[in-house]
Structure 1
Amino acid sequence: MDRISLLPDELLLRILSLLPTTKDVVATMVLSQRWLPLWKLTPKLVYDDSYQNIEYGKFSRFVDRSLILHEAPVDTLHFKLVQNSSAADIGIWTAIAFKRCLRELNIEFSPSTNPVTLPRSLYTRCTTLVTLKLKSVTLVDVSSLPSFPTLKTLWLVAVKYPGDEFVKRLLSNCHVLQDLLVALFPSDNVTVFTVRVSSLKTLKLGRKSRKVKDGFVIDAPLLENFDIYDIMGGFCVIENDMPKIVKASFYVTYSQPGKIMSCITSVKCLTLCLSTSKEVYPVGTVFQNLVHLRVCTCETEWVNLLLSMLRGCPNLQSLKLFQCRKLPAPKPRPCLKGSTLVPGCLSSSLKALRWVDYEGREEEKQVADLILRTGSCLKKVTIFSKATDPNRET
């Protein structure tokens, strides 16, 4: 007998859970009598209907049979579906898994697939879920949504909703939700995506719709990590301060980003790519806890944005400058004025500068000169030009 077969069941099941699909897991039953029953005990089931270009009928029958024969609790059920599946199939498969105390459900359809409407029964059976991830699906409206007492992680990517009110009701029933990821697309059927979740700790929002009247409303007082990616000109309204924010990233084209910035003054690590340097934050705002700052240099106003932030960060220790996307066509860029007031953090606290995609433009030279000339606390300076290493990590 091979050495691997001598390992205890617990370790062998861990090995099986690392295989890419349930089809691969089931295939191990032919190895020996030792392996024959193990696949029925794996806590993770991954079904991919693109596996070896399998015909959907055969795929559906395989899912039915393997779920029925499976004997142990199912911790994770993951569907990667390219072919058109029916809501009935999804309903039957998830019903079986929920009877096995399902904790994580991931339903992921290909964007090229016709949108699949998830069955109403899915809402009523989610009482054991801790994690729910949905991609390229359609949610159906119901008169009343049940609560999701154990749901802590929710990912909604390219999902089509019944409307704004449905979103409010859905999230209001997630009483212990801590991690929320939302990626909105033009077909989502939502104008204002409202997030009012008092337990939320991590929030990641993205929007690809070009409708400027669309945006987000947020009330999450316990939020610790906050990311927004919205370069389509929408809006984001923060209803209350978020005093527990530790890390935030804003890649936005909002005309008044200061309304967001004023709510996250406790932030320690901040990444900014803003299309404007005006009203970055209200006069008198100070980011006392901010020690790590990353500023994107791809926008025209990046120099003024950088100086504005440096003046409000008295305890800044590290600064990173980078480009998140290709620069637009050449246009006039603001340069430093001779009478520019030197931010205090440059001489009192800044210890490290890392500059990626340095191109030697006039405004870049002036910024580099200012920091190197006044940075009396600097201990490490790293500057990469674009020609240095195109594959480096930014």
Structure 2
Amino acid sequence: MFLFDKLLRKKSNVVKGVDYISNLPDPILHLILSRLHSTKEVVRTRVLSTRWRYLWTSIPSLEIDISHGPKPLSALQKNQFKEFVYWVLANRTLDLDCFTLDCGDHCDMSTIVWWIHVAVMRKVKQLDLTFCARDTGEAFVLPRCLVDCNSLEVLKLDMFMCYLSLESFTGSKTLKRLCERLTVLCPKLVYLEYGGHMANHFLFEVKSLKKAVIELEEMEQKNEFDDYFGVTICELFFQVFHVEYLSINYFFVQSISFKCECFNCPKKGFPESLPSLKTLEITIDGYLLDVLLRILKCSPNLDFLHLIIYKDSSPDQYEAFVGELVEVETTRILTHHLKKVEFLEFNGERETLAIAQFLFEHGNALEEIVFGWSNKDRYCKKSRKAMNEVSKFYKASSVVKVITLLKDQ
């Protein structure tokens, strides 16, 4: 508000009859407008002078958040909000780099879909929508124009009390638990984050993709899909094999391991090479080291490995893990690019400390090891003793940092 208040004091910008701020080039004025708190404040600058009247219509990004207004909203205020969004989009004169909208539960699905259509017409590059369904379990039908949008690079959908539906697509079914086919045709997309439940088949035309984050949820009734579930997981893996940054969670890696055991690792579906991969973030436990090693072996240009080790209650897992670690070839492959290690649900276990000691001793490139405690009482009682023990370990890397913290419950 401070910057906006200064702009409204028009006389302070005028020296000997010359308005120096208004005479600045458009890119600089756009930069000034970008520092304002909200799009609503940006629009208000049109009253400053004739020069500013239409300037706001050419700013590259719009951000509209209903949560910044008064609470609760009256029916009149809700209508005013919708009219404001309509008016802002209708008065755009240039294409949109980014459109961010948080409308809570104050707009129906048809209104949101209309706004998406207008944003696509403005050749939006990044679309970030947050909304909540008025009726629990309501479907949000993804508009066809959004999936086929040639300009779209980043799409973020934060939906509450509703689920995504692809019913407008030929051969597709509603994404409530599973969808039959998931097709994404965005030739300029550079970032993809896929979370929730699995589709049965994938088609991603995203050759420009640079970063992929896959956070799958474990299904409650996976048994009925056991005949092909692992193959489907690897099908998804194959679609993103060309990315530079890949983050995959525990359930995704576990499913790849399942596929390898049941289908003898046929080449189809599992990439033979990840030629562009530079950064890998992966969560494993003692039984999933083989999947990690396979990924590392086919990633010739990997620079940064962030390894998250998920604790399991079985001591046998740790024995198996350490047994594989001590193999010469495994040690060489694993520690060559290992930069960060994070131990989840750590509570001072000797087995975990043994793995940490091994990684300290062989990780020449190691930069950080994090011990994430899950039990507050044990953290208070044992963390100092455990870290004193860690401090005595030999460390192959001279720059490695040791962090111990209590994870949020």
Letter in 2 for 1:270: L
| TM-fit CA distance, 1:39 | 1.6
Q: Select the residue among 275, 287, 292 that pairs with 1:260.
A: 292
| TM-fit CA distance, 1:112 | 9.2
Is 1:245 the counterpart of 2:277 in the alignment?
yes
Letter in 2 for 1:225: Y
Q: State how 1:166-205 maps to structure 2 within 5 Å.
A: 166-167=181-182, 169-170=183-184, 173-175=185-187, 177-184=189-196, 188=197, 190=198, 199=207, 200-205=209-214
Tell me, in whole angstroms, the C-alpha distance in 2 between the residues paired with 1:197 and 1:305: 40
Tell me, in whole angstroms, the C-alpha distance in 1 between the residues paired with 2:285 and 2:219: 12
DSSP 3-state at the match of 1:203? strand
Residues 44, 74 of structure 1: 8 Å contact kept: yes
Cα root mean square deviation, aligned? 4.1
Which residue number corresponds to residue 226 of structure 1?
Answer: 246
Is 1:323 the counterpart of 2:332 in the alignment?
no
Q: State how 1:79-90 maps to structure 2 within 5 Å.
A: 79-90=101-112
**More displaced stretch, 119-128 vs 48-57:** 119-128
Is 1:138 the counterpart of 2:138 in the alignment?
no
Which residue number corresponds to residue 266 of structure 2?
Answer: none
**More displaced stretch, 134-143 vs 63-72:** 134-143
**More displaced stretch, 245-254 vs 37-46:** 245-254
Residues 77, 104 of structure 1: 8 Å contact kept: yes
Which residue number corresponds to residue 271 of structure 1?
Answer: 306
Aligned CA distance change for structure 1 residues 194 and 368 (closer, same or farther; 3 Å): farther
Aligned CA distance change for structure 1 residues 263 and 310 (closer, same or farther; 3 Å): farther
Residues 85, 116 of structure 1: 8 Å contact kept: no
Q: State how 1:26-45 maps to structure 2 within 5 Å.
A: 26-45=43-62
Which segments of 5 or more consecutive residues in structure 1 lack a partner in the other structure?
A: 147-158, 332-356
Which residue number corresponds to residue 296 of structure 1?
Answer: 343
Tell me, in whole angstroms, the C-alpha distance in 1 between the residues paired with 2:404 and 2:153: 45
Residues 198, 221 of structure 1: 8 Å contact kept: no
Aligned CA distance change for structure 1 residues 203 and 12 (closer, same or farther; 3 Å): same
Tell me, in whole angstroms, the C-alpha distance in 2 between the residues paired with 1:61 and 1:91: 15
Residues 224, 245 of structure 1: 8 Å contact kept: yes
Q: Which has the higher helix share?
A: 2
Letter in 1 for 2:385: R
Aligned CA distance change for structure 1 residues 26 and 325 (closer, same or farther; 3 Å): farther
| TM-fit CA distance, 1:311 | 7.3
Percentage of matched positions with identical amino acids: 18
- For residues 251-289 of structure 1, give each alpha carbon's deviation from its aligned partner in whole angstroms, at most 9, with x where no partner exists: 345842421332124433222222254347685333274
| TM-fit CA distance, 1:328 | 7.5
Aligned CA distance change for structure 1 residues 143 and 295 (closer, same or farther; 3 Å): closer
Which residue number corresponds to residue 91 of structure 1?
Answer: 113
Which residue number corresponds to residue 108 of structure 1?
Answer: 130
Which segments of 5 or more consecutive residues in structure 2 lack a partner in the other structure?
A: 1-10, 14-19, 223-228, 258-268, 312-316
Aligned CA distance change for structure 1 residues 317 and 253 (closer, same or farther; 3 Å): closer
Q: Select the residue among 387, 393, 397 that pairs with 1:370.
A: 393
Tell me, in whole angstroms, the C-alpha distance in 1 between the residues paired with 2:50 and 2:190: 44
Aligned CA distance change for structure 1 residues 178 and 38 (closer, same or farther; 3 Å): closer
DSSP 3-state at the match of 1:359? helix
Aligned CA distance change for structure 1 residues 164 and 124 (closer, same or farther; 3 Å): closer
Aligned CA distance change for structure 1 residues 380 and 322 (closer, same or farther; 3 Å): same
Residues 211, 232 of structure 1: 8 Å contact kept: no
Letter in 2 for 1:228: I
DSSP 3-state at the match of 2:168? coil
Residues 45, 76 of structure 1: 8 Å contact kept: yes
Is 1:305 the counterpart of 2:355 in the alignment?
yes
Which residue number corresponds to residue 19 of structure 1?
Answer: 36
Number of residue equivalences: 336
Residues 186, 206 of structure 2: 8 Å contact kept: no
DSSP 3-state at the match of 1:4? coil
Aligned CA distance change for structure 1 residues 273 and 124 (closer, same or farther; 3 Å): closer
Which residue number corresponds to residue 353 of structure 1?
Answer: none
Residues 46, 52 of structure 2: 8 Å contact kept: yes
Q: Select the residue among 76, 90, 95 that pairs with 1:73.
A: 95
Which residue number corresponds to residue 340 of structure 1?
Answer: none
DSSP 3-state at the match of 1:264? helix
Which residue number corresponds to residue 361 of structure 1?
Answer: 385
| TM-fit CA distance, 1:82 | 0.7
Letter in 2 for 1:13: H
- Name the TM-score, length of structure 1 as normaliser: 0.69
Tell me, in whole angstroms, the C-alpha distance in 1 between the residues paired with 2:33 and 2:40: 11
Tell me, in whole angstroms, the C-alpha distance in 2 between the residues paired with 1:323 and 1:113: 42
Tell me, in whole angstroms, the C-alpha distance in 1 between the residues paired with 2:116 and 2:244: 33
DSSP 3-state at the match of 2:150? helix
Aligned CA distance change for structure 1 residues 165 and 108 (closer, same or farther; 3 Å): same
- For residues 16-46 of structure 1, give each alpha carbon's deviation from its aligned partner in whole angstroms, at most 9, with x where no partner exists: 2343432221111223333222122222122
Aligned CA distance change for structure 1 residues 193 and 308 (closer, same or farther; 3 Å): farther
Tell me, in whole angstroms, the C-alpha distance in 2 between the residues paired with 1:371 and 1:124: 52
